[in-house]
Amino acid sequence: MFYQVIDILGTIAFAVSGVLVAMEKRLDPFGVFIIAFVTAIGGGTLRDLLMGNTPVVWMRDATYLIVVIVAVIFAILFAPQLKYLRKSLLFFDTVGIGFFTLVGIEKGLEAGLLPVMCIALGTVTASFGGVIRDILCSEIPVIFRKEIYATACIFGGIFYFMLMTLGIPEKYGYIASIVAIITIRLLAVRFGIVLPNIYKKENN
């Protein structure tokens, strides 16, 4: 039950972030729903395909579709209020990667994968819904920029396995790791921390 709640909360967060991006692009209601849907289920779909879990989870369980629909309606109805929260897109996107990283890790553990593979799976689950969203909205995906995004997922995954090694109860490990991912991402944005630029500046 605890694991499912995390999955649902991540779905809601990413669906709302998809709505916010779509509305910034002034898409019609159908376009808003599509962007919200692919943002919320894109990473999980890729994860399931990589693991050979077909039909993918949202095709087996209608709960995810219902959650996305409700989240879209909520975000559209309260769009004026959300616009006053200047960082609302950042917030929902960050919460989404926090929850979905641990969802992906849990799926990897259930399949008996090595910790490094579980972390990779968690990063894929957390990041690729946003990648699809940004591509469809003609934006360079955040994961391909210098921002601390997928890196936060990786650090959070490593932190989770460290806690498990120390014998921390699983639920507390989940919560602590989610908080760590969200904190890393928000601090990176707040203080302008980015990955090193591998390209040398050209001399004029």
The pLDDT tens digits of the residues spanning 162-175 come to 999 999 999 999 99
Decide if 56 contacts 48 (C-beta within 8 A).
yes
DSSP state of 51: H
Tokens, residue 135 = 């591509």
Query: Is the C-alpha dihedral spanning 130, 135, 141, 144 positive or negative?
Result: positive
CA atoms of 120 and 142, how far apart (whole Å): 17
* Residue 147, pLDDT above cutoff 70: yes
Decide if 149 contacts 131 (C-beta within 8 A).
no
Gyration radius (Cα) of the chain, Å: 17
Residue 95 identity: V
* Residue 131, pLDDT above cutoff 90: yes
Q: What is the dihedral of CA 179, 1, 50, 14, to 10 degrees?
A: -50
pLDDT in tens, 27-71: 999 999 999 999 999 999 999 999 999 999 999 999 999 999 999
- Please name the residues in contact with 7: beta carbons below 8 A apart, sequence gap of 6 or more: 99, 103
Q: Tell me how many degrees the CA angle 131-135-137 measures, rounded to the nearest 5.
A: 120
Share of the chain above pLDDT 70, in %: 94
3-state secondary structure (DSSP) of residue 171? helix
Q: Cβ of 26: how many Cβ atoms within 10 Å?
A: 8
Q: What is the pLDDT of residue 83?
A: 65
The full set of domain ranges for the chain reads: 2-190
Q: What is the pLDDT of residue 86?
A: 47
3-state secondary structure (DSSP) of residue 25? coil
Decide if 32 contacts 23 (C-beta within 8 A).
yes
Q: Which residues on neighbouring strands pair with residue 147, listed in sequence order?
A: 194
Q: Which residues on neighbouring strands pair with residue 194, listed in sequence order?
A: 147
Q: What is the pLDDT of residue 102?
A: 96
* Residue 194, pLDDT above cutoff 80: yes
